[in-house]
Amino acid sequence: MYYNISRKFFINYIIIFANYITIWGIKLINELGEISTSGGVLLKMWEVIVPSGSRPLVRHSHIRFEITLITAGSGIYTVGDKKYAIKPYEIFVFASNEQHCVTEVGKDGLKMINLHFEPRYLWGRSFDRLSNVNTNFCFQHSPNFENCIPADRARQIRGLFTSAAEEFSKKEPEYALKIKSLLNMIIVALIRDFGYFDSTLPESKDKNRIIRKATEYIDTHFQENLTLESLARLSSLTPNYFSSLFRKVSGIKLWDYINSRRIEAAMQLLKNESNLNIIEIASKCGFNNTANFNKAFKKTVGITPGEYRLNDNIII
């Protein structure tokens, strides 16, 4: 796979360095870089500052896997029913569709670097991807895994993470390949050293392959009128079995995955296409009516599409 490295701003996330724009109390201060193909952005990295104070609990989630490095400040991260005290040099890890939100920021504010990547970024070629038993790595983790990796245990991952940021900064030859290698090393460390995923669990290669192909199809056809029956037919399975298998392998419900993919596309259009109204955006992203669109958007993002567009909202 050949990667196209874009210098354009991250849609919804990034502004020109040092030209600060405050968005619901968050200052986006530096784009670090992104890796993309003709199918869209696969990986992106950016830096933010959050001012001190309490923030509303907006339970949001997204398909992208997220790794966050705390570079300065303190606060509280609410992840599901858990609360984590935020301290400098800690690493936070969130699986796809795992709800999380910074709800408190200390008096000195909070500074962090975020890295998001699409699950398909890891699938690649057979010799350059996670083994079949780990294909659902991005979608779920062991129930014993803690989202916060303390600073004293995060040295290795922190070093790999900052090396990726440096690669974006220097842009030396083949830096995209180096970033992919660094990310692979982070993932291996999460599995081996932090019990992120129980890779000893037996899983059928065929089952994982079926769901990987299904998610790849959804990623490129989410604008269309997808049905459980049509997706099951592509996999030569009954609808009930396909739905059950999708949740077992990926860790999330089929329609939650489809809606998350559609909502992420809608977020881009809400910010980038001011000439489109909400009804048009809903239609372009595969929703057959605005009621379903509004409901799915609020469930995923925490606010309505209109509020998101009005406030140019960024949520962490």
Comparing 198 with 237, the larger pLDDT belongs to 237
Residue predicted with more confidence, 268 or 24 = 268
Residue 199 is assigned to a structural domain of this protein: no
Give the domain range for residue 56: 4-193
64 falls within a domain: yes
Q: Is the pLDDT of residue 204 over 70?
A: no
pLDDT digit string (tens) for 64-101? 899 999 999 999 999 988 999 999 999 999 988 788 88
Q: Do residues 51 and 179 share a domain? A: yes
Q: Looking at the structure, tell me whether residues 154 and 253 fall in a common domain.
A: no
Residues 16 and 153 in one domain: yes
One domain for residues 108 and 178: yes
The pTM (predicted TM-score) of the whole model is 0.71
221 and 182 in one domain?
Answer: no
What digits encode the pLDDT tens for the residues 117-144? 987 787 655 445 555 545 567 777 888 8
Q: Could you tell me the CATH number of the domain that includes residue 56?
A: 2.60.120.280
Q: Same domain, yes or no, for 211 and 169?
A: no
Query: Total structural domains in the chain?
Result: 2
Write down the pLDDT at residue 122: 75
Q: Are residues 76 and 158 in the same domain?
A: yes
**316 is a domain residue:** no
User: Residue 21's pLDDT is what?
Assistant: 37
End-to-end C-alpha distance for the chain, whole angstroms: 31
CATH number at residue 288: 1.10.10.60
Position 228 in a domain: yes
In a shared domain, residues 156 and 261: no
Which domain-ending residue is among 193, 226, 257? Answer: 193
